[in-house]
Structure 1
Amino acid sequence: MYTPTLNTRRLILRKFNENDLEAFYDIFSDKEVNHFLPWFPLKNLDEAKSFYQERYASIYQKKQRYAYAICLKENNTPIGYINIDLDESHDLGYGLKKEYWHQGIISEAVKAIIQQAQKEGLNYLTATHDIKNIHSGHVMKKSGMHYCYSYKEHWMPKNIPVIFRMYQISLDGKKRIYQKYWNQYEHFIEENI
């Protein structure tokens, strides 16, 4: 398996590498960028190197194909990331440096990774967002994902209660709803999402 480089109008989606460590640190150390994510902001370059090894370098040696740095074409320097987990959830996740927020960059990257996943035969993708992170929900909707349900989870390692909205997109035309979070947590369906 491999992680093919993807190009969009403004972006290059490619593997992170060790030369990206400072840019990687800038993304994963920012408190605002990482506020709604399941890890604490990184404190130094040593933590960044360990996090890179754990979450990216090790994945690139496995069958995972969807772990990308988001780079602008003008300089090919990472400004964010986008991933799809290849467990049963096929969970889509992303993050972006705040100076690039509200420019459609994440939506552009999401559309490219969805096309690649469909081309390579994934049947569906899911994505979740904290209900307080409304902008992430807008990205999911704009990318063709549909709201399925909400659920309450005690989120670790941050040790806080969070209500998540779960979105999904079918890539093979079959109707299905990923049920794990529905079955595992207190859940409900919100109106007018």
Structure 2
Amino acid sequence: MIIETKRLILRPFKMDDLSSLHSIFSDPETMAFYPAPFSEEQTKSWIKRNLERYQVDGFGLWGVLLKENNQLIGDCGLVTQTIADRTYVEIGYHINKNEWSKGYATEAAKSCMEYGFHTLGLNKLISIIDPKNHQSIRVAEKIGFTKEQDLFIFNKIHSIYSDDRSSINGHQNKKIMDTIL
């Protein structure tokens, strides 16, 4: 287990998760903002890519399970993204459409944000969101992200939402230095 919240467990994927994850990723409504729903082979590649991320980056997208019954309901986690020759860490999430509007995506994303800032010591986190994906935008805003800009990436326009703590830390450091001087 990586993260435990009030209602969820976030843990590394295993190949045994293929069937449960594929039922989510093969759904056209859930994957409406992707080019197409995933085939079983694409879902298997998704899991393998995250297993590699755990080894290379020390993090990735994790399986999101309900504590009450250990049911896999989606994924959420941190992934590195390169945008305009700069590397960022993104919070990404997908939740089974049968579990939408219950606050699970927000709960999982908030815990990943805390993990990124407090455990990994990152200063900035982003989310890359299709501007028409209002549910995802709501999740980003609920965890305190604000829209930074629109960019053409991944073959279409995406909105970049972020929380940048480096300016806060820099401001706090300046205040501390001013107090000391």
TM-score bin, normalised by smaller chain: 0.7 to 0.9
Q: Which has the higher helix share?
A: 2
Contact 1:15 1:67 survives alignment (8 Å): yes
Task: Name 2:149's counterpart in structure 1.
Answer: 149
Within-5 A mapping of 1:69-148: 69-87=63-81, 88-119=87-118, 120-148=120-148
Task: Name 1:180's counterpart in structure 2.
Answer: none
**Candidates 5, 27, 31, aligned match of 2:24:** 27
Distance in 1 of aligned mates of 2:62 and 2:144: 20
TM-score of the two chains, using structure 1 as the length reference:
0.76
Shift, 1:56, TM fit? 1.7
Distance in 2 of aligned mates of 1:107 and 1:168: 15
SS in 1 for 2:139: helix
Distance in 2 of aligned mates of 1:47 and 1:127: 22
Task: Name 1:36's counterpart in structure 2.
Answer: 33
**Candidates 53, 74, 77, aligned match of 1:59:** 53
Distance in 1 of aligned mates of 2:115 and 2:153: 33
Given residue 57 of structure 2, which amino acid in structure 1 is its aligned partner?
K
Contact 2:92 2:109 survives alignment (8 Å): no
Distance in 2 of aligned mates of 1:114 and 1:131: 21
Larger Rg: 2
Contact 1:71 1:78 survives alignment (8 Å): yes
Residue 140 to residue 18, structure 1, CA distance change in 2 (3 Å) = same
C-alpha RMSD of the superposition? 2.0
Residue 164 to residue 64, structure 1, CA distance change in 2 (3 Å) = same
Contact 1:21 1:48 survives alignment (8 Å): yes
Distance in 2 of aligned mates of 1:154 and 1:111: 25
Residue 154 to residue 142, structure 1, CA distance change in 2 (3 Å) = closer
Residue 117 to residue 155, structure 1, CA distance change in 2 (3 Å) = closer
Distance in 2 of aligned mates of 1:112 and 1:52: 21
SS in 1 for 2:45: helix
User: After TM superposition, where is structure 1 displaced by more than 3 Å over at least 4 residues in a row?
Assistant: none
TM-score of the two chains, using structure 2 as the length reference:
0.81
Distance in 2 of aligned mates of 1:86 and 1:77: 27
